[in-house]
């Protein structure tokens, strides 16, 4: 673990809930939450706990989820389980629950953990003294259980049920005029783009494979004439086989231009690891270092940064890359071979940290990449740079007072305080054994988290009104 020369020191808050690895989408499903626990095991065994604060976030409540999602949809997610699913036939069709987004044991708790990690830190920061994320306490927040970018207001999609990213951005918008969302998952970040399509306060930039690939959106052009002026969505459609150098040649100039032009107050970076070489679903050819170069580059702008997970289906590559990127966030470079950890045998036969590129053909020609870079510059010329809104005193949400009072009285201190003092013994204590496809998961008997206040606020969808 070597310090990265020339990197400024940052305070990193890392969110992890050891229950996450207990949830299973079902046999044969490519999404495996256990990859987050594998990553965590590397993080701890590389000693990164010495370089950051580790938190277990408060799982998001139903009411927090309805800041974006409809009450009916959240209620459905809360009620359905494998035993009663047969009673929800019509709703399953309506909410797109099925093959890609199956009903599994503990589904709602899984969504709560993922969303809690992406929004909780901002709630905590605001409670502890207005936007500490932006100022001192926390410069970078990391939640590898988040990044579920396909979930819609009232619909599951592409393995995603609750859109933790939209919820995290809504929280950031309470303190920042403009938030920039960047998505390096191999799939188009359609759920986030759609949620903020009619506001200039969030700019969404997705790099993805385009062409006969899920979800089929993100071509690169605006959806309609009026959108050209309206929407702050940028799409970078790429072809199969893109490698580190070519990706960097599009990512860095495009993102530098956008950041200087849009001047965001905070950045959310979705680090979907299915853009890595050899991914089970993806078809890009990035090495671990090529993927992580995007993180380093965005970190170098010294803006409050929320780093999230996303896709990634070759679990040993996902775990290595996100552990390495946790190091980048903390200003250190992980080196050498994989340290001893609970999943050591997964990394054989070479036990290398790096995820190497393959010799597959790159279908992105230099001319094609030139065209993409130019088209982004042209698109931005049709819009106002750094649009401003009148910022008021941070508006309290209807439930803030209740929450504050309840936090003081009843907060589970163990769940909230930084676990600075974690050592290896503690890791073993919090890590459960896991089998990739067979466990039933869920936290049926766990009652450690309190639900805040009463459900439902008068205006449950502020995203419509930004
Ligand atoms: F291969 C599978 C096996 C079982 C269940 C689903 C899949 C699977 C593979 N690819 N499903 C897909 C994609 N779905 C479809 C639709 C099926 N319809 C007929 C079309 O092609 C979904 C891919 C989702 C990718 C999610 C993501 O990586 O972007 C992600 N990001 O954050 C979380 C997930
Ligand atoms: Ca993407």
Choose the weakest-confidence range: 183-187, 278-282, 391-395: 391-395
Q: From the CB of 100, is ligand 1 less than 6 Å away?
A: yes
What pLDDT was estimated at residue 133?
A: 55
445 has catalytic annotation = no
Q: Could you list which residues have their CB under 5 Å from ion ligand 2?
A: 183, 185, 189, 206, 208
Tokens 């067979």 -> residue: 438
344-375 confidence digits (pLDDT tens): 999 999 999 999 999 999 999 999 999 999 99
pTM score of the predicted model: 0.86
Among 192, 214, 308, say which to mutate for ligand 1: greatest number of ligand atoms within 8 Å of CB. 214
For residues 267-293, give the mean pLDDT.
Answer: 98
Q: Which ligand is nearest to the CA of 144?
A: 1
Q: From the CB of 147, is ligand 1 less than 6 Å away?
A: yes
397-444 confidence digits (pLDDT tens): 544 544 444 343 333 333 333 322 222 222 222 222 222 222 323 333
- Per-position DSSP letters for 175-238, written without gaps between them: T-S-EEEEE-SSS--HHHHHHTTT-SSEEEEEEEE-SS-TT----SS-SSHHHHHH--EEEEEE
Could you give the CA distance from residue 213 to residue 187 in angstroms, rounded to a whole number? 8
What pLDDT was estimated at residue 228?
A: 54
What pLDDT was estimated at residue 227?
A: 57
Distance from residue 241's CA to the centre of ligand 2 (Å) = 15
pLDDT classification of 464: cutoffs 50, 70, 90: low
> Is position 158 annotated in a ligand binding site?
yes
pLDDT classification of 335: cutoffs 50, 70, 90: very high
Asked if the bond preceding 249 is cis, omega within 30° of 0, the reply is no
* Ligand 1 atom 24, closest CA: 158
* Ligand 1 atom 7, closest CA: 100
pLDDT classification of 123: cutoffs 50, 70, 90: very low
pLDDT classification of 135: cutoffs 50, 70, 90: very low
| Residue 454 CB neighbours (<10 A) | 10
CA angle 51, 57, 63 (to 5 degrees): 155
* Ligand 1 atom 17, closest CA: 100
Domains of the chain: 2-465 (3.40.800.20)
The ligand 1 atom at the shortest distance from the C-alpha of residue 213 is 21
Q: Measure the N-to-C terminal CA separation of the chain; round to a whole number of Å.
A: 43
Per the DSSP assignment, residues forming a β-bridge with 179 are: 202, 266
176-188 confidence digits (pLDDT tens): 999 999 999 999 9
For residues 456-466, give the mean pLDDT.
Answer: 39
pLDDT classification of 132: cutoffs 50, 70, 90: very low
When computed from its CA atoms, the radius of gyration of the chain, rounded to whole angstroms, is: 21
Query: Does position 221 have pLDDT exceeding 50, yes or no?
Result: yes
| Residues whose CB falls within 8 Å of the CB of residue 424, separated by 6 or more in sequence, listed in order | 44, 45
For residues 101-130, give the mean pLDDT.
Answer: 77
Question: Using the 8-state DSSP alphabet, how is residue 412 labeled?
Answer: -
The ligand 1 atom at the shortest distance from the C-alpha of residue 99 is 5
Nearest to 184 by CA among 240, 238, 222, 139: 238
- Given the residues 40, 69, 149, 150, select the one marked as catalytic: 150
What pLDDT was estimated at residue 398?
A: 47
Query: Does position 199 have pLDDT exceeding 80, yes or no?
Result: yes
The ligand 1 atom at the shortest distance from the C-alpha of residue 313 is 28
> Is position 200 annotated in a ligand binding site?
no
Torsion of CA 176, 402, 73, 75, to 10 degrees: 160
Torsion of CA 297, 299, 301, 302, to 10 degrees: -160
């Amino acid at each position: 673990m070597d310090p990265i020369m020339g990197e400024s020191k940052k305070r990193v808050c890392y969110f992890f809930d050891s229950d996450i690895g207990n949830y299973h989408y079902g046999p044969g499903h490519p999404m495996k939450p256990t990859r987050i626990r594998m990553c965590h095991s590397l993080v701890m065994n590389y000693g990164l706990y010495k370089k950051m604060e580790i938190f277990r976030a408060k799982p998001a409540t139903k009411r927090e989820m309805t800041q974006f999602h409809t009450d009916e949809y959240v209620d459905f997610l809360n009620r359905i389980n494998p035993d009663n699913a047969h009673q929800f036939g019509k709703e399953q069709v309506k909410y797109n629950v099925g093959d890609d987004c199956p009903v599994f044991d503990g589904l709602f708790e899984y969504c709560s953990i993922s969303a809690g990690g992406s929004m909780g830190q901002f709630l905590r920061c605001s409670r502890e003294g207005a936007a500490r994320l932006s100022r001192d306490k926390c410069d970078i927040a990391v939640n590898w259980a988040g990044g579920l970018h396909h979930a819609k207001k009232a619909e599951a999609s592409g393995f995603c049920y609750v859109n933790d990213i939209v919820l995290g951005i809504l929280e950031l918008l309470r303190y920042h005029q403009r938030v920039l969302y960047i998505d390096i998952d191999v799939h188009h970040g359609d759920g986030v783009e759609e949620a903020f399509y009619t506001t200039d306060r969030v700019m969404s930039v997705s790099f993805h494979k385009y062409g006969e690939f899920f979800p089929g959106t993100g071509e690169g052009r605006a959806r309609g004439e009026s959108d050209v002026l309206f929407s702050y969505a940028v799409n970078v459609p790429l072809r199969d086989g893109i490698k580190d150098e070519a990706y960097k040649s599009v990512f860095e100039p495009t993102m530098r231009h956008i950041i200087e032009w849009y001047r965001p107050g905070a950045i959310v970076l979705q680090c979907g690891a299915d853009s890595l070489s050899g991914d089970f679903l993806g078809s890009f050819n990035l090495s671990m270092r090529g993927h992580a170069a995007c993180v380093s580059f965005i970190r170098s702008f010294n803006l409050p940064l929320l780093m999230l997970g996303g896709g990634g289906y070759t679990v040993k590559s996902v775990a290595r890359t996100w552990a390495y990127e946790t190091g980048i966030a903390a200003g250190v470079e992980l080196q050498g071979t994989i340290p001893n950890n609970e999943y050591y045998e997964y990394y054989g036969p070479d036990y290398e940290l790096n995820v190497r590129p393959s010799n597959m053909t790159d279908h992105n020609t230099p001319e094609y990449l030139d065209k993409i870079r130019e088209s982004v510059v042209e698109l931005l010329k049709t819009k106002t740079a750094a649009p401003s809104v009148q910022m008021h005193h941070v508006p309290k949400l209807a439930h803030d007072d209740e929450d504050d009072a309840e936090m003081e009285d009843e907060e589970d201190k163990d769940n909230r305080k930084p676990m600075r003092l974690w050592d290896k013994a503690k890791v073993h204590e919090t890590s459960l054994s896991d089998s990739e496809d067979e466990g039933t998961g869920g936290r049926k008997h766990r009652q450690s988290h309190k639900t805040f206040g009463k459900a439902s606020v008068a205006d449950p969808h502020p995203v419509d009104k930004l």
